[in-house]
Chains A and B, each alone.
Chain A
Amino acid sequence: MATGDTSLWLHNKLGSTDDLWSGKTICSQLSQEKLQSTVACFHTLQPHVKVKLLFSFLHIPRRNVEQWKSDLEDLLMMAIHDTDQWVSMTGEILRTYPATGMLNLDLEDNSTFADVLADLKKIAIKKSTDFTVLPMECQYLNKTALLTITGQQPQPLKHFALKRKPKSAALRAELLQKSSEAASSKKNN
């Protein structure tokens, strides 16, 4: 496919700035040949088209990623050296994706990223004791499994003393009584 055709095709498919999540729409039409001609025209693309093109990689079936690894990596290298910061950052994060299926988390060479990360790390550590919201999966876990993840959690603050149990206690006892009766009469029948 001619370079110009690929460039036009990408522009038509990914040129809109209204939807910045549309990278995946080109996945089914990607091929090795198309990727190779994209390498040739990459520098001519608009930054947001480049970014969306890179995101299509995340939606390509794994076997194709493995097959096209070197072409995908060529494109990522070009992205990393791009002058647009979003293009180069996206390229940097996806750098390891074709080879490992995982994202590159070693980004501290980028000063903007490293600064924000360092600041937030300080705040997160400072706030670690007085604000503990647990990860969502904790609601499902048996006590032992929970302990291995979160360690011993502080007891909730006692806001008052309980002088008597609420009405719910009597209801519970009554229901259990009824349940035992029902169970034994079921057995007898």
Chain B
Amino acid sequence: IKLISDSGYQGEITSVSTACHQIEVFSRVLRTSITSMLEGGEEIMEKNLPEFTKMVCHGEHTYLYSQVLMHILSQEPKGGSNIRRLCQELQKSASARGLDVTPITLALSRAAAYPRACQALSAMLSRAALNPADISVLYKMYLEMNPPPVELIRVPAFLDLLVESLFKPGFKINPEHKSKYVYVLSYAASVTEIYKKSVRKNINKDELKPTVQALEKVQALCGQNKNSSELIADVNTLFLNIKFPVIAYGVLKWVDYTVSDASYFKLNPDTTPLHLVLIDEIVTNHLLLHQKALDLFTRLFESSFEELDVLVRLELKKTVLDRMVHLFSRGCVIPVVGYIRRCFVKQETDISLIRHFVMEILDVIAPPYTPEFIQMFLPLIENKDITGSMKSDDGSNPVSEFLSHCKSDGMVS
């Protein structure tokens, strides 16, 4: 094995336990995997992550070694954030495999310098559940004049647990403690610190109070279990406060739970239910939540909705497609078109739905187009089953307009 590795054929060493046996071989395989993910971008990272996790999580020692290596790289000012994300994805998928990685995560962070905070975080992260006593410890520490670094509570798994407790329908936090949860989450989302040579020079809490107030307001609204018609009057308030990313994240989660309820679309027969329009607003305001929104839309689009009448079901799917068109118009272009392309290739989607999507897209776009977009969209346009019968209301033909544009660009012959 070492000979194979020495000759540079890391990619050929596929057996995990073989690769992990010797530290030298493991290091090279690790280097090859990380390199391919760094060079391939987000899509390759997602694709390779399960195999990568399997190898790295072979033992606690291989996991520790890999995380230490990547942690050092993540500190680099250039390119470090890509690696940091990889560290986090790895942590997440290791936890999902039931492995207790919290001690390593915390030992790598600066938490150890704050034993009380570290203990509180460790207790909650290891059990993947929050509790009022540990939240109170953090709350008190972050109220003090010289709080621990904000970085300590910016642990994605912890933030996710906080949002979950505040926005999951039916989840009850003791009202006496709720404001502490809101405070800790708002603190993590809004406070900035300035460091010079690893010494904290300044803590800016200007945005803390407005974030706390907005979060309290929206959390209370979402927690009231109102139906769509009761919520109408609150739409303005929701739109206004959704501008805070942390609130948008929470509302997205709340909408996800709400619309995933089997009876939701049966009870809300309006053409576009209010909750989905809230996601449009989130998409408009937050680029970083586009992927999460798309995940929800694809899940809805693929739901069977067996309890609904066939025609109602089709209309509902068109409504979901319209949400994807909105997402597309806001800059999430290649992931959205790529998804519809895959639906088309798999041939499991009603062709009228694909046609609806293509028509809506043609209705809003104009040149100049990027070659990447044309390449992605063209196969849908060129397919006669999709666009053969397509005509615009005003008599123009958007399909041939698009094609002739591609011709003049030299993209089609």
Interface residues of A (CB under 8 A from B): 20-21, 23-24, 48, 51-52, 55, 58-59, 62, 85-86, 89-90, 93, 97, 100-103, 105, 107, 112-113, 115-117, 119-121, 123-128, 131-146, 148-150, 156-168, 171-172, 175-176, 178-180, 182-183, 186
Contact = CB atoms under 8 A, between A and B. Distances in A.
Contacts of B373: 159-160
A162 B366 contact: yes
Contacts of B64: 55, 90, 93, 103
A158 B367 CA distance: 11
Contacts of A164: 363-364
Given A112-B27, A171-B280, A137 B155 contact: yes
Contacts, number: 262
A157 B370 contact: yes
Given A133-B45, A179-B234, A165 B38 contact: no
Contact of B30 (A102, A105, A116, A126): A116
A86 B23 contact: yes
Contact of B366 (A142, A163, A168, A186): A163
A186 B38 CA distance: 55
B207 A127 contact: no
Contacts of B191: 145
A144 B202 CA distance: 14
Given A136-B88, A162-B365, A179 B233 contact: yes
Interface stretch (B132-140, B165-173, B281-289, B345-353): B281-289
7 contacts: A62-B119, A85-B24, A121-B73, A142-B244, A149-B81, A159-B372, A161-B368
Nearest to A136: B156
Interface stretch (B295-303, B320-328, B378-386): B320-328
Interface string B81-101: 111110011001000000110
B118 A101 contact: yes
| B190, B286, B289 pick with most chain A CB within 10 angstroms | B190
A138 B246 CA distance: 10
Contact of B72 (A85, A105, A148, A156): A105
B78 A124 contact: yes
B277 A160 contact: no
Contacts of B323: 168
B35 A120 contact: yes
B333 A159 contact: yes
Interface in B204-246: 204, 207, 211, 232-236, 239, 244-246
Interface in B317-348: 322-323, 325-326, 329, 331, 333-334
A16 to B, nearest CB: 12
Contacts of A137: 154-156, 159, 188
B207 A144 contact: yes
A140 B159 contact: yes
A148 B201 CA distance: 14
B91 to A, nearest CB: 9
B123 to A, nearest CB: 11
A148 B192 contact: yes
Nearest 10 CB-CB pairings of A with B: A20-B59, A101-B112, A128-B79, A124-B79, A179-B235, A136-B156, A182-B233, A168-B326, A163-B366, A159-B373
A184 B76 CA distance: 54
Interface of A is mostly: helix
Nearest to B153: A137
Nearest to B68: A93
Interface stretch (B103-111, B174-182, B258-266, B307-315): B103-111
A160 B78 contact: no
A93 B235 contact: no
B81 A150 contact: yes
Contacts of B292: 139
A141 B189 contact: yes
B353 to A, nearest CB: 15
Contact of B280 (A119, A131, A148, A168): A168
Given A116-B30, A116-B31, A180-B236, A161 B189 contact: no
Nearest to B101: A21
A116 B235 CA distance: 53
Contacts of A127: 38-39, 79, 82
B6 interface: no
B370 to A, nearest CB: 5
Interface centre among B27, B41, B89, B100 (most CB of A within 10 A): B27
B72 A117 contact: yes
A148 B206 CA distance: 14
Most chain A CB atoms below 10 A, which of B59, B92, B360: B59
A120 B322 CA distance: 43
Contact of A140 (B65, B108, B246): B246
A183 to B, nearest CB: 4
A138 to B, nearest CB: 6
B61 interface: yes
B391 interface: no
Contacts of A133: 41-42, 45, 81-82, 85
B399 interface: no
B27 A131 contact: no
Contacts of A182: 232-233
